[in-house]
């Protein structure tokens, strides 16, 4: 798949030796030596290979905070940190996960969202908007300590909170401005974004 993509994008196929080495890494789940990947001359293959090996090292017990160093910087290093952050979160280390996301340049906000979004959905577990808002504010405060000011948490979290509410049964209003006028002042901007988008999507469906 990656080889076809590289060719289609005009990068040209990788050198035969690189292609064989990369294929051997994919074929051997026990191969977890980063030097195999860093020796590849093709940057895209080396990056993708490095991410594969990093995930294997995490599965073998290596700290997610350290596995991406051999991959280097750039988009592949960011992809590695993204996956390492998810692994840290799954292992019960939200601080480590946040630190990994903050080391990302190209899609930092998306990485951060993957950390708090599952818990955000849980704030609507009983369908009570008042209780859901209280739980969401606690969640926001918790993640603001880790991510505030360095990601778009203050906007994105609340936009998603409203979206989840609409998807979970909160009636979609006919007018975003009227509906959001009743929202807490600090949430009105995010409310308008989320409600307008939900109305546009509903209109597209109809």
Q: What is the DSSP string of 108-150?
A: HHHHHHHHHHHHHHHTTTT--HHHHHHHHHHHHHHHHHHHTTT
Question: For residue 10, what pLDDT is reported?
Answer: 45
Q: Could you read off the pLDDT of 144-202 as tens digits, one per residue?
A: 999 988 999 999 999 999 999 999 888 999 999 999 999 999 999 999 999 999 999 98
Give me the percent of the chain exceeding a pLDDT of 70.
Answer: 91
Burial class (CB in 10 A: 0-12, 13-18, 19+), 111: buried
Q: Could you read off the pLDDT of 52-85 as tens digits, one per residue?
A: 999 999 999 999 999 999 998 899 999 999 999 9
DSSP-assigned letter for residue 71: G
First to last CA, the chain: 37
* CB crowding 157-177: b at 16 or more within 10 Å, else e: bbbbbbbbbbeeebeeeeebe
List of residues 6+ apart from 74 with CB closer than 8 A: 47
Question: For residue 12, what pLDDT is reported?
Answer: 52
Residue 93, pLDDT > 50, answer: yes
Of 191, 171, 170, 190, whose CA–CA distance to 180 is shortest? Answer: 191
List the domain boundaries for the chain.
1-106, 111-206
Residue 206, pLDDT > 90, answer: no
> pLDDT tier at 6 (50, 70, 90 boundaries)?
very low
């Amino acid at each position: 798949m990656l080889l076809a993509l590289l060719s289609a994008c005009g990068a040209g196929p990788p050198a035969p030796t690189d292609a064989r080495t990369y294929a051997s890494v994919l074929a051997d789940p026990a191969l977890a030596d980063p030097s195999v990947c860093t020796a590849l001359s093709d940057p895209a293959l080396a990056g993708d290979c490095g991410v594969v090996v990093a995930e294997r090292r995490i599965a073998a017990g290596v700290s997610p905070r350290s596995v991406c160093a051999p991959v280097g910087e750039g988009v592949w290093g960011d992809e590695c940190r993204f996956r390492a952050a998810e692994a840290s979160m799954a292992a019960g280390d939200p601080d480590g996960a946040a630190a990994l996301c903050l080391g990302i340049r190209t899609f930092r906000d998306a990485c951060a969202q993957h950390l708090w979004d599952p818990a955000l959905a849980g704030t609507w577990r009983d369908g009570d908007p008042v209780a859901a808002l209280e739980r969401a504010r606690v969640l926001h405060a918790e993640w603001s300590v880790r991510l505030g000011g360095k990601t778009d948490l203050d906007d994105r979290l609340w936009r998603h909170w409203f979206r989840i509410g609409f998807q979970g049964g909160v009636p979609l209003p006919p007018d975003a401005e009227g509906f959001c006028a009743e929202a807490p002042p600090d949430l009105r901007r995010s409310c308008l974004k989320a409600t307008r988008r939900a109305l546009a999507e509903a209109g597209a469906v109809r």
